[in-house]
Structure 1
Amino acid sequence: KPDTLVTLERMMNVFKDYYEGTEYDLRKNITVKGDSGKMVISPLANPFMSVDELRLHKVNGGWHHLGERNIAVRFTMYGTVIQCRDWLPDEIGGVLWFALDNVASSVYVPIYCSVTDVASTYKTDGRRTGFSRDAAWWAFNRLGTLSAQRWGTFRKELDKTWIPFQQKLLVNQATIEKQALDLYNPKKPAKTIKLLTDYSMEWCNKAVNAAWDLGDYIWTKYDGYW
Structure 2
Amino acid sequence: MKGMRRLVAWAILGALAVPGSASACTNIVVGRKATKDGSVLITYTSDIAIMPRLLRVPGGSHAAGETVEVKGWESDDVRGRIPQAAITYTVLGLVNEHQVSMGETTTGGRRELRDRKGLLDYDALMLLVLERAKTAREAIGLVDSLCREHGYGSSAETFSIADRNEAWIMELINKGPDRKGIVWVAARVPDDGLTVHANMSRITTFPLDDPENWLFAKDVISFAVEKGYYDPKSGKPFSYRDAYHPDHGPSARRACAGRVWSVYRRAAPSRSFSDAWFRGEAGAEDYPLFIRPDRPLSVGDVMALMRDHFEGTPYDMTKGADAGPFGSPLRLRPLVFRVDGKEYMWERPISAPHAGFTIINQTRAGLPDLVGGLTWFTPDDASTSCFTPFYTSMESLPAAYSAGDYRTFSWQSAFWVMNVVSNVTYDRWSHIIPDVRVAQSEQEATLLKIQPAIEEAAAKLAATDPALARSFLTNYGRSTAEAVFQRWRSLAESLFAKHVDGYIKDADGEAQEAGYSESWLRHVVESHPGRFSPPGKIGLTDY
Paired position in structure 2 for 1:142: 420
Which of the pair is proportionally richer in strand?
2
Does residue 185 of the first structure (1) align with residue 463 of the second (2)? Answer: yes
Q: For 1:168 and 1:43, how far apart are their aligned partners in 2?
A: 34
- 1:43 deviates by 5.1
Cα 1:156–1:43 change in 2 (3 A) is: farther
Q: For 1:42 and 1:103, how far apart are their aligned partners in 2?
A: 21
**Residue number among 270, 293, 296 corresponding to 1:5 in the alignment:** 296
Paired position in structure 2 for 1:161: 439
Q: Structure 2: any 5+ residue segments left out of the alignment? A: 1-191, 193-291, 504-543
Q: For 1:95 and 1:10, how far apart are their aligned partners in 2?
A: 17
Q: For 2:325 and 2:477, how far apart are their aligned partners in 1?
A: 36
Does residue 211 of the first structure (1) align with residue 488 of the second (2)? Answer: yes
Paired position in structure 1 for 2:308: 17
Q: For 1:202 and 1:131, how far apart are their aligned partners in 2?
A: 23
**Residue number among 330, 343, 352 corresponding to 1:73 in the alignment:** 352
Q: For 1:10 and 1:185, how far apart are their aligned partners in 2?
A: 31
Cα 1:99–1:68 change in 2 (3 A) is: same
**Residue number among 292, 314, 321 corresponding to 1:30 in the alignment:** 321
Q: For 2:326 and 2:366, how far apart are their aligned partners in 1?
A: 48
The one-letter code matched in structure 1 to 2:405 is G
Deviations 1:100-129 (A, max 9, x none): 10100011100001000111111203314x
Paired position in structure 2 for 1:44: 326
Paired position in structure 2 for 1:100: 379
Cα 1:206–1:183 change in 2 (3 A) is: same
Task: Give 3-state SS (helix, strand or coil) of 1:185's partner.
Answer: helix
Cα 1:217–1:43 change in 2 (3 A) is: farther
Task: Give 3-state SS (helix, strand or coil) of 1:212's partner.
Answer: helix
Task: Give 3-state SS (helix, strand or coil) of 1:83's partner.
Answer: strand
- 1:66 deviates by 3.7
Paired position in structure 2 for 1:36: none
Matches within 5 A, 1:102-117: 102-117=381-396
Please report the TM-score for the alignment, with normalisation by the length of structure 2.
0.37
Which of the pair is proportionally richer in helix?
1
The one-letter code matched in structure 2 to 1:182 is K
Q: Structure 1: any 5+ residue segments left out of the alignment? A: 32-40, 59-63
Deviations 1:68-114 (A, max 9, x none): 10110000011000111122111100010001101000111000010
**Residue number among 169, 174, 185 corresponding to 2:452 in the alignment:** 174
Does residue 195 of the first structure (1) align with residue 468 of the second (2)? Answer: no
Q: Does the CA contact (< 8 Å) of 1:126 and 1:136 recur in 2?
A: no
- 1:220 deviates by 1.2
Q: Does the CA contact (< 8 Å) of 1:43 and 1:153 recur in 2?
A: no
More contact order relative to length (CA 8 Å, sep ≥ 6): 1
Matched residues, percent identical? Answer: 25
Q: For 1:174 and 1:43, how far apart are their aligned partners in 2?
A: 43
Q: For 1:66 and 1:122, how far apart are their aligned partners in 2?
A: 34
Q: For 2:318 and 2:438, how far apart are their aligned partners in 1?
A: 22
Please report the TM-score for the alignment, with normalisation by the length of structure 1.
0.85
The one-letter code matched in structure 1 to 2:299 is L
Paired position in structure 2 for 1:61: none
- Considering only CA atoms, is the larger Rg found in Structure 1 or Structure 2? 2
Cα 1:192–1:90 change in 2 (3 A) is: same
Q: Does the CA contact (< 8 Å) of 2:370 and 2:462 recur in 1?
A: no
Q: How many residues are aligned here?
A: 209
The one-letter code matched in structure 2 to 1:180 is A
Q: For 1:43 and 1:156, how far apart are their aligned partners in 2?
A: 16
Q: For 1:185 and 1:7, how far apart are their aligned partners in 2?
A: 27
The one-letter code matched in structure 2 to 1:178 is E
* Runs of 4+ with deviation above 2 angstroms: none
Q: Does the CA contact (< 8 Å) of 2:331 and 2:346 recur in 1?
A: no
Root mean square deviation of aligned Cα: 2.3
